[in-house]
Amino acid sequence: MPRKPVDPSSLPPWKRKSPPGKSRPLSAVQVEAARRRAAQAGRRYPNLVDNMWAARHVPRGDAVACSGEDE
């Protein structure tokens, strides 16, 4: 019998293929957001899901606009 193709969105993140293209490390802002999320869940360190959440939902903050702190 032929196998049905598996929908990647139904698989857990650690069983999915990596997305195409070059990977980029998380920015310092994203790392801190992942750490906060892990701490709120009672974990000492962020896991893959925390890092994926930060990469998707937290802006990189590379070109951070002036927030008005120095005025």
Look at residue 63 in the predicted model and tell me its pLDDT.
Answer: 54
pTM comes to 0.71
C-alpha gyration radius of the chain: 17
Which run of H or of E encompasses 35? Answer: helix 28-40
CA distances from 40 to 29, 30, 47, 49, 55 (A): 17, 15, 13, 14, 18
Is 52:13 a contact under the CB 8 Å cutoff? Answer: yes
The whole-number pLDDT of residue 5 equals 83
Q: In whole angstroms, give the CA distance from residue 61 to residue 47.
A: 21
Higher-scoring residue by pLDDT: 45, 70: 45
Quick: pLDDT tens for 6-50.
888 889 988 988 889 998 999 999 999 999 999 999 999 999 999
In this prediction, residue 56 carries a pLDDT of 93
pLDDT confidence of residue 59 = 95
Q: Is the pLDDT assigned to residue 65 strictly greater than 70?
A: no
CB-CB neighbours of 68 under 10 Å: 6
